Amino acid sequence: MSGLLDSWRTRALFRHLEMLYYREPWPSTTVPRLTPLLLADLIISRAREAALFQTGRPLAAPPFAANQTATGGHALVDVFLIRSDIAVHYPEVPEAYAHAVSNGRPFIGLVFGYDALNTRFTGRRQARPALHYYQDSRTAPLVHLMEADVTREYNSAATHIAPVVSWVRKILKAQRK
pTM above 0.85, yes or no: no
Q: What is the DSSP letter of 13?
A: H
Per-residue pLDDT at 102: 87
Overall average pLDDT of the 79-87 stretch = 88
Query: Does residue 147 have a pLDDT over 50?
Result: yes
CA–CA separation, 159 and 148 (whole Å)? 9
Residue type, 153: E
Residues of the chain above pLDDT 90, percent: 23
**Residue scoring higher pLDDT (162 or 52):** 162
Per-residue pLDDT at 22: 92
Question: Which pLDDT band, with edges at 50, 70 and 90, does 1 fall under?
Answer: very low
pLDDT tens-place string over residues 39-61: 999 999 988 876 666 666 777 77
Query: Does residue 162 have a pLDDT over 50?
Result: yes
Closest CA to 77 of 59, 60, 98: 98
Contact 146, 110 (CB under 8 A): no
Contact 79, 90 (CB under 8 A): yes
